[in-house]
Amino acid sequence: MYKFTEEQLMIRDMVREFTANEIEPRDRAMDENGFDWDLIPKLVDAGLMAIHMPEEYGGGGGDTITSEIVINEIAKGSASIALFLDAHWLAADMILLHGTEEQKKKYVPLCAEGKVFAFGLTESNAGSDAAAIKSVAEKQPDGSYILNGGKAWITNSGIADYYLIMAKTDPEAGNKGISVFIVPKEAEGLTVGKFEKKMGMRGSGTCELSFDNIKLPADALVGSEGRGFMIAMQALDGARISIGAIASGLMQHAMDKAIKYAKERVTFGKPIYKHQAVGFKFADMAAKIRATDLMIWDTCEMKDSGVRFSTEAAELKLLASRWACEVCDDCIQIHGGNGYSHEFDVERFYRDAKLLEIGEGTSEILRMVISGAVIGR
């Protein structure tokens, strides 16, 4: 088992306490009312909005393991807020890893100040088939770009201050014609739609975006033209580790609730956890959580050491997201009829878990990635 450093353990304990006091008590209300804006300044004060960003840009200087500790602990109180932070980092990291020095100095410090970023790839007719996006950024004689099109299912939309938007600069070049642009929320021609009414993860904002002749300066381009697809796929590799961390935290949260219930609920003269059929469910849950954690920390180490980890991140997300759905389903079953009620949290966890099999690469796409890597070895 991976051994955390003393600093990582201190951060884990701090985030665990912060989550218990500030995040978990809000999760049920966010399921009804949406994202709680009061959490942004609290996340800033706790130093969590940019904990893994380099210190020279105002961040905490943490490594990948540290950042995933944060995601994992927050998910034990609210999968929605863990997803919010994951999406924020997914977008901001694109600037950190591929932006010019001027872009890094301008935008990365904003993360620590509480400005929110969002990643914009998916469109209504282009989800898994990312190369099929229709948004176009047409270069002008003065070097600027005119952006037209739209996006769908964008996490943090309606909350974000800046959007990292993938658009085609060469519509004839397929995925090699996609580029990335920084679009501020106040850009003229940007319309943010209403918040979607979702099955789960209701504490995170999700809207459609529309682009109508948005004029972007030349320095809105991140990286070089035609590199957007590669930049996005690299960013998603890292984000898939975070999905694994969310899955682990959500499973632990659900199991903790089910254990508490199983100790209190009595049938046939004894607490239900003493019935073998129930006890075996907890054994399976514990094994799935431990296996997920081992994959998380192993893949984190690969990323930090500079080793290619695309396949391992896909394997982690594939299994962890499925297991999260299974664990939450078992927790509902342990609760019986009560598990089907809003009064008990496990039904919300089940709804939240399903998104993990869809967002940032569906399970079907992940199997394509993994099988291609295995067969090609």
Between the alpha carbon of residue 241 and those of residues 20, 46, 86, 235, 360, the distances in Å are: 23, 22, 10, 11, 10
Question: Is 116:107 a contact under the CB 8 Å cutoff?
Answer: no
Report strand pairing: 162-168 vs 117-120: parallel
Is 360 catalytic? The answer is yes
Between the alpha carbon of residue 262 and those of residues 31, 257, 354, the distances in Å are: 25, 9, 24
Question: Helix, strand, or coil here: 1?
Answer: coil
Which residue shows structure tokens 């890893």? Answer: 97
Whole-angstrom distance, CA of residue 126 vs CA of residue 135: 10
Check 22, 208, 315, 360 and give the catalytic one.
360
State the burial class of residue 6 (Cβ atoms within 10 Å of its Cβ: 0-12, 13-18, 19+).
Answer: exposed
Write out the two tokens for 198.
């979702």
Whole-angstrom distance, CA of residue 127 vs CA of residue 194: 20
Which positions are catalytic? 360
